[in-house]
Structure 1
Amino acid sequence: MARLFSLVIAACLLLGLALPAMASGWAGLFDVKSRANALQTDAYRDIRALCLAIAIDPAWETLKPIRRLATTEGYGSDTSAEDFSWAVMVLSGRALAGDAGARSRLSDLLDRWAAAAAFTETEEINDAYYALKRQLLPLSVAYAILEPGMEAEREGRLRAWIDGLVRKIDHTFDGDVDHNNHRVLADSVLAVWGAQTGNKAMMEKGLARYETVLDDVRPDGTLALEARRGARALWYQRQTLSSLTVMAETARGQGFDLYGRTSPEGRSYATLLGALLNGIASPILVAVYSAENHIPGPEKDFHQLELGFLETRGHGRHYMGWAEAAILSGHGLAFDRLKDLFSRQIVARRPLIDEFIGGNSTCFWGQP
């Protein structure tokens, strides 16, 4: 089915077929030029302020490039590059909003890390590669923001560096991580970077994962490999939705509506979204499948659901950043429920910044 979807995308691109109701005409995650122009208008004054809400830390200029991400003991992945990714996401949002100083700092930061071949010696093990995958959407977005007007030599150096890292994470480990949220994240990166650089084969490979995920959705809207994760069952359902949102927005730039796509069994993005919202509203529903308690994370009691993704995390991220895009593009009951949750519990926490959606999602998609 994934191969068929890839062929369908290729044929439609070749024939110029697109859904007329869909916005189209950009490469990458979102329309950088159009969004930058919108942020300069009076109507988007408040959103622009949220792009600029996080101050620049002078310490970012002295961040030392990290050549190797490594596996860690126990649950979790290497966080040594967390300050770097935070700097990239903050500076990208500020640059998109027209902060020339942030743009210059971002360009210099990425060039230093590219010149030092950062991350290129990452340990070839799934936990270390997962840490690398988390770096690549922010880097792809930063590149898209910087590319217009960038000096050719620097642009080429950044492009070659990021391209090499993206190709590195397109890797098979012969285990569940080749099918769960780890792989969906990797394919979201392939989709964005492939679209950004005009590599249609890479983009199509990434987008084909969307079809695979829909085929894996169970009747109740859950995914077997994520639903068994004990207290973090909803955590990983949400994480998969974040990566699917990245794919859907990338496809939207190519003229395709993946939000509305339905599998032969009737599963769709809305099916997954409904399962997440049902679990948040009625945690007892989650216990039916979370009781397997497979690699549950810090909390070992599967009844104690981890809903920290509804709050701003201690490291500044907000893992519901994907909702900024989803509430604009989907239709139906599940999306209406998401909009309600967003207005009640999330919007007040803007700006929503998260590497799984590429950075400051409020800056990229937020509406006044």
Structure 2
Amino acid sequence: MLATPLLFASLVSQAATTSSNNEAEGFQCPDFPEATISLSYGSRYKDDSKSRSELDKEANAAVNKALGPSDKFIQILARLADKAQKKTSQREDIVRCAIGAIHHWAEADSFSEIDSLTANLSYASRVGGIAIAYAQFKALIPQEQEEPTDEVTSVGQLQLLEETDPQDTEEETKKASAEASDDLNESESQAKKNTVQLPEEYREDTKTIEHWLAGLGDSIIHFWETDGPPMASKNNLRAWAALAIIQIGLTVENEDFIEWGLESHRVILDTIEPDGSLPMEMRRGRYALHYQLHAVAPMVTATAMLQEADKRNSQIYMDRLMMAAKFSLRAIEKPELVEEKTDKPQTVKSGLLEQKKYQIAWLEPLLALEENPQLDATINDLRPLRNSKLGGNMTFRFHDSKNDKQDFGENDQ
């Protein structure tokens, strides 16, 4: 792995400056890892492990080392996104800090040299994590809007007059206009309260970031359409690529990206067994259940994100996704359901409450898609649930935006 020699000293000094109304302790922009430009590594698994279920310790360590900087980068961004939602007095400094860091990675053309098959299969999940974090920061920046023209204003007045009962008095008409104006002012006031005002240079930075993300989206799709291995094209790796492409598509308003992500879900879910198991993951021996969960998580999350944008797959695939999710939950409670298929003890512990928080963070978007009071109550004591590659604090985003717990512990993966 190569990394740019650029350091973040200037970025930190610029972004860490706190506003006069900030909290007493202020905000300190953290140190970010250097940008990851090139990735080239082999499989984590032993060469003779056909099911890819026997780890090679040295190879696994090499992969983790190569991906370490980008994984750390995503974790920091996810924590900052969570903090920006809750620390309103520090929000502007946090957004400046994060946008500056992502812009640095964009200008460095990060992930532009992906030089091995295995790297191509796995780096998309890191792109997705960055894209999801960026989308959360972008949502806090007021977007440019065209100023209304006199013609638009007059049309609005005409519409108001046309909709007014001829018998209404002039006073009632003025009252209705005033109420409409109050509603608009309240809406604008709320929008200003939830957003931050950034210098023009940061708006330019967002253009650079989105151009970079769109380029990575094109590269990811090209790989999967031309060089994606047949089995990997139907398993969890394709699901993570789909999550990245869907988020980028939502961010840059590219419907082709969104459709490719949905088509990826269809390709994967077309393989589903009647019980909800995914055969490409059931091949993985003692890791079968682990990878079933690893495939369902990005698909459920992407589907919930699309639902927020009033987009979705056809009902047959929504039903299949729920089948896969429900099988996963049953198998967590009874791993023998998977052991019967693999003839191998599973690495996933038995019992939902025995799972690490980041492994079940996808349950929050699942509950956003389909109500399940029993499941909701079961995981309540585990909240907040976080997974940086899925978007950080999943409880805050999908369950309760007013949740103010802030446990940035080791479970934030």
Whether TM exceeds 0.5 here: the answer is yes
**Alignment partner, residue 325 of structure 1:** 365
* Paired AA for residue 137 in structure 2: L
Deviations 1:239-283 (A, max 9, x none): 22112213312331342455x8225xx952221122112212222
**Alignment partner, residue 374 of structure 2:** 340
* Paired AA for residue 144 in structure 1: A
Alignment of 1:191-206 (within 5 A): 191-206=246-261
- Return the match for 1:230 from 285, 302, 308: 285
CA 227–353 in structure 1, closer or farther in 2 if over 3 Å, else same: same
**Alignment partner, residue 75 of structure 2:** 86
Query: 8 Å contact 1:133–1:189 — kept in the other structure?
Result: yes
CA distance in 1 between counterparts of 2:285 and 2:131 reads 33
Q: Confirm or deny that 1:179 pairs with 2:234.
A: yes
* Paired AA for residue 227 in structure 1: M
Q: Confirm or deny that 1:71 pairs with 2:123.
A: no
**Alignment partner, residue 18 of structure 2:** none
Matched residue SS, 2:358: coil
User: Superposition RMSD on alpha carbons, in Å?
Assistant: 2.8
Query: 8 Å contact 1:114–1:158 — kept in the other structure?
Result: yes
Displacement, 1:95?
2.1
Deviations 1:127-162 (A, max 9, x none): 213442121222222322333246332111111122
Query: 8 Å contact 2:246–2:257 — kept in the other structure?
Result: yes
CA distance in 2 between counterparts of 1:238 and 1:340 reads 20
CA distance in 2 between counterparts of 1:238 and 1:124 reads 26
**Alignment partner, residue 38 of structure 1:** none
Displacement, 1:56?
8.2
Deviations 1:212-236 (A, max 9, x none): 3332111111111001212221211
Matched residue SS, 1:79: helix
* Paired AA for residue 329 in structure 2: L
Query: 8 Å contact 1:188–1:206 — kept in the other structure?
Result: yes
Q: Confirm or deny that 1:275 pairs with 2:327.
A: yes
Displacement, 1:167?
2.0
Query: 8 Å contact 1:65–1:112 — kept in the other structure?
Result: yes
Alignment of 1:275-314 (within 5 A): 275-291=327-343, 302-307=344-349
- Return the match for 2:104 from 112, 119, 125: 112
Q: Unaligned 5+ residue runs, structure 2? A: 1-25, 46-59, 143-197, 404-413
Displacement, 1:312?
7.0
- Return the match for 1:153 from 204, 212, 225: 204
Matched residue SS, 1:67: strand
CA 251–108 in structure 1, closer or farther in 2 if over 3 Å, else same: closer
TM-score by length of 2: 0.63
- Return the match for 2:386 from 353, 356, 366: 353
Q: Which has the larger radius of gyration?
A: 2
**Alignment partner, residue 103 of structure 1:** 95
Greater Cα offset, 235-244 or 355-364: 355-364
Matched residue SS, 1:168: helix
* Paired AA for residue 91 in structure 1: L
CA distance in 2 between counterparts of 1:79 and 1:342 reads 33
Displacement, 1:181?
0.8
**Alignment partner, residue 136 of structure 1:** 127
**Alignment partner, residue 243 of structure 2:** 188
CA 123–137 in structure 1, closer or farther in 2 if over 3 Å, else same: same
CA distance in 1 between counterparts of 2:381 and 2:119 reads 34
Query: 8 Å contact 2:289–2:328 — kept in the other structure?
Result: yes
CA distance in 1 between counterparts of 2:214 and 2:27 reads 27
Matched residue SS, 2:75: helix
